[in-house]
Amino acid sequence: MSERSNDDEEFERIPWGHISSAAPARPVSWRLAAYGLAGVVAVAGITVSLVSPSVPAPTTTVMSTATTTTTAPTTTSAAISEAELMAIPDAVVASEAAAWAEVLTESYWGVDGTGSSALAPYLPPTSPLPTPAQGQRIFVESVRALTVLEESPGLYRIVVRASLLSATGAEEYRRLPIQALAWNLRWERDGWRLLDLPEQVELPELLPSSELPTSEVPEVIRTAASQSGTVLSGGPVGDLWRVVLAVSNPAGGTWPVVMWYSPDGVRIGG
């Protein structure tokens, strides 16, 4: 048996000639092939990094005569500005503060023997609780958060308007004066914290409307408006006519509403 060079022996164990569909004219040194392949990979990597720096790197497989190593792909995420991160949570937190202030208002006024116990766990320790009169029943007709003010980061002052009905014993309910309470709530990582008892505040009164002009409604406008209801009154306001109509609801009652018409009887809006 004739001696063979180390290069020939390696060539027989790693058939690099199979890479090409055409057999090589003469044996190629495996070292030269490996150097060539490494150079191609390096050039390709540099080209990708220069042309597409923001595209996530694909999975790269490095081939060798001994092992195959796969590197995991890397990903990048779009940068989000601080303003974008803060805008949505602020809106959500403000609405939650308003909702919790309404819940607290219901518990505060609904003290017919059970409401006070529902409120107690949220008040500061040793806080006094509402005390209804003997036999008094209070019905919370409605509560509305009117203003939500962020006094400092995470600290909100919410003014809530409450409409209440009260009765004692077997008597009928009667309406109480409108009440307004201001609550101080602080947002913490685990939820909301009530800082103190509510403050009683005065609300600006809802003023009555000014008198509006009335006049005989022209026939062309009356005819057009009668298709929507019964014409009660009307009058010119600027270039349009304001017409008050009684419209019926499915239960059979009637409700006054306003509709606007041009001088030639064409309805405006609606």
DSSP letter string, 58-106: PPEEEE-SS-EEEEPPP-------HHHHHHHHHHHHHHHHHHHHHHHHH
Q: What is the pLDDT of residues 146-181, one digit of tens each?
A: 999 999 988 999 999 999 999 988 899 999 999 999
H/E element, 229: none
Residue 201's Cβ-count burial label (10 Å; 0-12, 13-18, 19+) is middle
Domains of the chain, with CATH numbers?
6-71 (no CATH), 82-200 (3.10.450.540), 219-268 (no CATH)
Q: Which of 258, 259, 255, 237 shows the shortest CA–CA distance to 246?
A: 255
Is-contact 265 223, C-beta < 8 A?
yes
Q: What is the pLDDT of residues 211-245, one digit of tens each?
A: 998 999 999 999 999 999 999 999 999 999 999 99
Q: What is the pLDDT of residues 73-96, one digit of tens each?
A: 444 444 444 444 444 456 678 999
Task: Answer yes or no: is pLDDT of 256 > 90.
Answer: yes
Give the predicted TM-score (pTM) of the model. 0.56
Is-contact 181 202, C-beta < 8 A?
no
Dist. CA 40–CA 147, nearest whole Å: 68
Task: Answer yes or no: is pLDDT of 138 > 50.
Answer: yes
Dihedral sign for Cα atoms in the order 103, 106, 107, 108: positive
Residue 147 is given by DSSP the state E
**Does residue 268 or residue 23 have the better pLDDT?**
268
